[in-house]
Each structure stands twice: as C-alpha cells, then as structure tokens.
Structure 1
C-alpha cells in the first residue's frame, strides 16, 4: 500500500540531481574525445571538461539553495545532499582524469581506458533516469543492483589494466597512466556510492 502524501512533492530537486548525473554522461563523451586526439588537441577539450565540472558545481549549489528555501522536498534533505555531493565528487574526478591526460601529454591510452569510460557512461545514464524517479522508489531496486554489477566489472577492468601496464610499460609511463586509471575507477566507486545511498533510501522508505 502506497503512503499517502499530505503535500505535493516538488520535483525541482530531483531534476537538479538528474542534471548533475547528465553532466557525467557528457563528461564521459568529452574524455573519450580527449583519448582519441593528439596531445596538441587536448587543451580545448580539457576546457570543455572544466565547463562540465563548473556546471556540476553550479547545480550542486542550486540544490543546496533549493533545499534551504523549499517547504516540501521529495526526500529527506540529508539524502538529497549526500546524492548531490557524490555526483559532484564523481564529476571532479572526471575533470582530474582529463587534466592528467593533458598534463602528462598522454596519447593512445590502452583499450581498458575506453572500457572504463563505457562503464562510467552507462552508470551515469542509469543514474540520470534514477534521480528523476526518486519520488517513486518501487522500481529503483533494479537500478541499485545494476550499478553494483557495473562497478564490479569496472574494478576487474582496473586490475587487469594495472597488471597490463606493469608488464608493458617503463616506470615513468606506468606511473602517469596509473594516475589516470585510478581516477576513472574512483568515478565508478562514486557512482556505486550513489546507488548504495538510493538503496538505503529504499530500505528506509519501505
């Protein structure tokens, strides 16, 4: 039996969370472009990535303002704040990964980098949709489970990527590539934190 709500739920906060997740989708596309061009062409794309990061921060602050000024929120404020913080932190790591590629002048990263970006993009796409539906938790358990599955896949990819780098690269090259690999796997972990928070909300509201 669904709980009756005395006040209409304001969707603005959920829309802001969804827009933050969309910035990660866009950022994964930008980072894929960065990995596909020469070092000489990194600067413009890294600037695009900085813009995604700035937009994410703007949306994060907008959500904080909305929560302070809104009488009714679809979820407890602490849950909305936690989701927003994890989304913003994931975006910051995407930005850092792009900046490292440019600073280190990396070109032709291994296929594992593209595999990780594919996972991040899929996690972010699922999260865009999930954030919109947080005021109806009945069908979000599948989202939670799928994000956890994708994160496990990302962690396996990371381990294989690191092992390959140790075998194939000299120390300086390995160190630079490992920094990028670490940023990307941390993004997938942030996406898992978001899904775990959603799972906690489902349990609390059930």
Structure 2
C-alpha cells in the first residue's frame, strides 16, 4: 500500500495533515516561550495559542470531510481521523496549559518543566515529518520509537519537577496551581505519544 490515498485526493489531504502538524509545531514553540517568561509576556503570547487551537479545530473538521470523500477503508479513515483529532487535541492542551499559567499567575517554573517543553517541541517536529510519509506508511517505522523516547524523558522530567515543587514548599494554593500546570504538561506529552501510536497502527496494518 505504497500510495495510501487515491491520487484524486492525495495532495489536498496530505497538505491538510501537514498544515495541522505545522500548527502543532507553532503552538509548541509558543508554549515553550510562554513557560519561560513572566506574567506580562505570557499574556502577550497566549493569543497566539488561542489562534492555533481555533485553526487546528477547524482544520480537523476539514480533514474529516476529505476522509469521508476518499476511497480508503473505514478502518483506515478512522485511524487517520484519530491521528488528526489527537494532533488538534494536543494543540488544545498546549493552550490549556498556557491559559492556566496566565490565570493562576504562577511564577518561575522548575527547570525540568522547561526541559519537558523542549521535548514537546521535538515531538511536534517529529509529527510534522511523519505527515510527509503518510503516502508510504512503511517509512514511519522510527516515528513512534522516537516519540516514545520523548515520552519517557518527559515523564521523568515531570516527576523531577513535582519533587522540586514539594521540596520548595510554600502556600497550598500556589502548590496546587503548580501541580495543575505540571499535570497539564504531562497530558500534552501523553497526547503526543497517542498521536504517534495511531500512525504506527497504519504502519503495522500495511506490513
């Protein structure tokens, strides 16, 4: 199944997946910048993530419509839709984390969380590259493996951040806010692995 989509819908659909992944890359970059700044700069960056999330939702709907018109099997269409939907959910998660930071006015984040954000950027870039191989899914064999590595590292960094927060101590309200932000970052990392797993399902089916 080297050519995954019929040629009459191939390029437009590939373009939509690539555009969706590009939104993820942009959101991951804005997310990292927002995490590394203080409140005032965070309020300037947050609208970028709102826009990314809105566009991702709209684009995911267009992907669903194109899949409904394609000649691929329902099983393949479902996996591809889940792939697109989880990318959009990841962009939403990045927006959610950023909004939490602004609303709770959380201060400087532990270094491990900033490192985890860089891992999220890396996974987003891997996802973008993966969309270029959707017409030859056998080329996706390394994608899930690489994102799994990012997930494991991200989980370790999240645990380190939580330990640092509890050692730091402080008011319970501040600790809860930090914990909510940490949980939101962990959620984003989980969604990125889920995205890669859907792509890997396509590869396994084609084997």
TM-score (norm 1): 0.90
Question: Can you give the 5+ residue segments of structure 2 that lack an aligned partner in the other structure?
Answer: none
CA contact (8 A) 1:148 1:192 kept: yes
* CA positional deviation for 1:187: 0.9
Q: 2:85 is matched with which residue?
A: 85
Question: Partners of 2:43 and 2:93 in 1: how far apart?
Answer: 17
| 2:119 paired residue number | 119
Find the residue that maps to 1:135 and give its secondary structure.
Answer: coil
In the other structure, the counterpart of 2:190 is: 189
2:177 matched to which residue of 1?
176
Alpha-carbon distance in structure 1 between the residues aligned to 2:61 and 2:4: 27
Answer with 61-70 or 115-124: which moved more: 61-70
What number of residue pairs does the alignment pair up?
204
| Secondary structure of 1:76's aligned partner | helix
Q: Is 1:150 aligned to residue 150 of structure 2?
A: yes
The answer to whether structure 1 residue 26 and structure 2 residue 63 are counterparts is no
Who is 1:15 aligned against? 15
- The alpha carbon displacement at 1:71 in A equals 4.3
Provide structure 1 residue ranges, at least 5 long, that are not aligned to the other structure: none
**What's the TM-score once normalised by structure 2's chain length?**
0.90
* Contact 1:10–1:72, Cα closer than 8 Å, also in 2: no
For the 8 Å contact 2:130–2:140, the answer to whether it is kept is yes
- Give the structure 2 partner of residue 67 of structure 1: 67
Q: Secondary structure at the match of 2:134?
A: coil
Deviations 1:53-98 (A, max 9, x none): 011111101111212234468x821111110111111111100001
SS of residue paired to 1:23 = helix
| RMSD, aligned CA | 2.1
Q: Aligned equivalents of 1:5 and 1:20: distance in 2?
A: 18
CA–CA separation in structure 2 for the residues paired with 1:161 and 1:36:
14
CA distance, structure 1, for counterparts of residue 105 and residue 5 of structure 2: 57
Structure 1 residue 7, shift from structure 2 partner? 4.5
Equivalent residue runs for 1:48-67 within 5 Å: 48-67=48-67
- Name the residue aligned to 2:107: 107
Residue of structure 2 in register with 1:130 after alignment: 130
Aligned 8 A contact 2:21 2:128 in 1: yes
**Residue-by-residue CA offset, 1:82-133 (whole Å, 9 max, x unaligned):** 1011111111110000100000112321111211111000000010010121
**Maintained 8 Å contact 2:6/2:71:** no
Superposition misfits of 4+ residues, deviation over 4 angstroms: 2-7
Q: Per-residue displacement from partner, 1:36-61 (whole Å, max 9, x unpaired)?
A: 33313332211111001011111101
